[in-house]
Amino acid sequence: MTNEQILNALKHVNDPELNKSLVELNMIRNVQIDGDHIRLEVVLTISGCPLKTKIQEDIENALYKIGASNVTLTFGSMTPEERAALTQSLKRETTAENGMPDMLRPDSGVTFLTVTSGKGGVGKSTVTINLAAALAKMGKKVGILDADIYGFSIPAMLQVKDKPTMIDQTAIPVESYGVKIMSMAFFANGNSPVMWRGPMLNKWIKNFLVNTHWGELDYLLLDLPPGTGDVAIDVAAMIPQSKEIIVTTPHMVASFVASRAGTMAMHTKHEIAGVVENMAYLEESDGTKRYLFGKDGGEMLAKQLQTSVIARIPFGHPEERVTEGLYKEESMPGEMFKSLAEHFLHLNQ
């Protein structure tokens, strides 16, 4: 067994967060071969890497496949200079000359879906996470940017306990249910309120886009704050090619307020992807539908915005949920979100 054979075997072992080969990242060092006993050092990006065990298992399995009978690993961590160099390398690969990410270019292949509403409490974040999870289950690379700076809730709804790994000033998104997630919740002090005005909001939204290593994405969903405030305006300027999903309940007041968000989308030249009517009805065990918030609010909104209702999501029952906000795939709401995901896949074909 030679050093070259070992490195060739490990070229196919990736850092789980960066999705790059450990060999390419120069994380495999000090290889020693004693017959079929292999010793080597793995230099991690940070000393407390949360996926250290996963990396160890992948290395051992790769080396056992080429004939090693015993593998001994020691772990170190990159120096500050090495981390800074890695950060610069990652940014060069994903950042244009103007400092904004390549994925914001119109020809990047990334579909941006901004999920918005006129008021809070209509299930905007529920729509975001369930649509994202449905797209991920279909094999797509999906991210969620929780851009609701004041009302961040995505990590809590998915019961995410981990925080992003920081390599120098670059954040690696947390992954849950196959979806990469970045949120203000990871940086806030517990449940303390964020009390910022426009310029700071703009800075953080840009920071989430520029200083996050999203890797390859097919879809990035942005959960916007309700209404037509600073964040919505900034996102419209940063991502002009984004398509907007307007979420409402069937209640006429919710629909009336949501029309403002849709009107703003048209003013900012964003394409409206359609209306999602959430909490459309409650289906009883005998199949009877109860319209708790009334009917036709979504249809009225769609007519006002010259678009269509692309999904009517019923109330879910507690036993249909995987987490507080995520429905089981086989539940009725889960089936609706699967159909919604198929709708967007069909549009991109």
At 256 the pLDDT is 83
Q: Find the mean pLDDT for residues 217-238.
A: 82
SS3 208: helix
Residue 29 has pLDDT above 90, yes or no: yes
Structure confidence by residue, pLDDT tens digits, 296-305: 899 999 999 9
Angstrom distances, CA of residue 97 to CA of 78, 180, 237: 28, 25, 18
pLDDT of residue 98: 58
Q: Residue 246's pLDDT is what?
A: 93
Q: Which two tokens stand for residue 78?
A: 């990159």
CATH of domain 102-347: 3.40.50.300
Burial 317-331 (b: 16+ CB within 10 A, else e): eeeeebeebbbeeeb
- The mean pLDDT value for 48-73 works out to 90
Decide which of 332 and 46 is more confident. 332
CA distances from 199 to 196, 203, 344 (A): 8, 6, 33
Contact 281, 289 (CB under 8 A): yes
Beta bridge partners of 243: 113, 271
Put residue 46 in one of left, alpha, beta given phi > 0 → left and psi -120 to 50 → alpha: beta
- Average pLDDT score over residue span 91-114: 78
Q: How confident is the model at residue 69 (pLDDT cuts 50, 70, 90)?
A: very high
pLDDT digits (tens, 9 = 90+) for 287-330: 899 999 999 899 999 999 999 999 999 999 889 999 989 999 99
> What percent of the chain has a predicted confidence (pLDDT) above 90?
54
Taking phi first (over 0 means left), then psi (-120 to 50 degrees means alpha), and beta for anything else, what does residue 32 get?
Answer: beta
The mean pLDDT of 79-98, rounded to a whole number, is 77
**pLDDT tops 50 at residue 92:** yes
Find the mean pLDDT for residues 165-186.
88
Could you tell me which residue, 99 or 236, shows the higher pLDDT?
A: 236
Question: Over 90: is that where the pLDDT of 195 sits?
Answer: no
What is the number of residues in the chain?
Answer: 349
Asked if pLDDT for residue 266 goes beyond 80, the answer is no
Q: Which of 205, 202, 150 is nearest to 182 (CA)?
A: 205
Per-residue pLDDT tens digits for 104-120: 888 889 999 999 988 88
Query: pLDDT at position 202, please?
Result: 63
The structure's pTM equals: 0.82
Task: Give the domain ranges of the chain.
Answer: 3-78, 102-347
Structure tokens at 244: 């907007």
Average pLDDT over residues 124-132: 96
Q: pLDDT averaged over the chain?
A: 87
Give 202 or 131, the one with higher predicted confidence: 131
CA-nearest of 301, 300, 217, 204 to 260 is 301
CATH class of the structural domain 3-78: alpha beta
* Residue 37 reports pLDDT greater than 90: yes
For the segment 280-286, the average pLDDT, to the nearest whole number, is: 91
Overall average pLDDT of the 181-207 stretch: 68
- pLDDT(22) > 90: yes
The rounded distance, in Å, linking the Cα atoms of 95 and 211 is 10
261 vs 13, more confident: 13
